Amino acid sequence: MILDPAIALLQFETRIPLGRTVDLVHFARHPWLYPLAGYVTGGIAALAVFLIAPQPLAAAISLALVLLIAGFHHLDGLLDFGDGLMAHGSRERRVAALTDRAIGAGGVGLGITVTLVAYAGLSSVPRVSVAILAGEVLARLGLAWITVAGRPFREGIHATLHRGARPVHGLYVVIPVIPLLLVLPAGPLLLAGAVTAAAAAGMIALGNRLFGGVNGDVAGASHEVIRALVIVSLALVL
């Protein structure tokens, strides 16, 4: 049954009230469903700004909405990742900066940078609604690949999801991305998909080098980075 994994996914990825609580383990066995959450968050934002004429306003509102609907879930990971990225010293010090509750200059700086890049991209595309939808769906595609391939360096949610994932899920996850062809030409979608794959691989490599693997913060940061890069790639080719 796909219903329970889908509900568990939306409870994990959004703050939308869905009634009964479903254990995350149901989704952990189906990480290829990740893009479905992108259709929900991106779809809501796309509908909200579809008729807004001033493009900078539509860009700001759409980006704010996807962050709000997700409860700033992945943005929190980006801020933690920024602290770990900018920490000096040993791997242990970097991991400590990544996993503590305080947010330092590195986190704030990276959060502002990635968000500004996403906003600039949305302000430049022909259709904000299409770009925010594609950005959200493809960012979840990247999350699925990171879940499958990103070796955990500690116990946590990412480790739970990684244990439930299978290599074939990295192929299955392409299937729910195909409907984007209804709103995006094949060429730009393939380019955005290639950007997603490269960014996911780069974040895994960076996580391995800095922290000895991937955790939920690295995965969350990857979502924010991939969304921004996908939007910029679409702004350059559409």
pLDDT digits (tens, 9 = 90+) for 74-119: 999 999 999 999 999 899 999 999 999 889 999 999 999 999 999 9
Q: Residue 112: how many CB atoms within 10 A of its CB?
A: 12
Alpha-carbon distance of 31 to 98, in angstroms, equals 24
Residue 156 above 80 pLDDT? yes
Average pLDDT score over the chain: 96
Alpha-carbon distance of 134 to 35, in angstroms, equals 10
Least confident of 21-25, 169-173, 208-212: 21-25
Share of the chain above pLDDT 70, in %: 100
pLDDT at res. 101: 87
- What lies within 8 Å, CB to CB, of 43 at 6+ separation is 133
Share of the chain above pLDDT 90, in %: 96
**What confidence tier does 18 reach under pLDDT thresholds 50, 70, 90?**
confident
Stretch 135-164: mean pLDDT, rounded?
Answer: 97
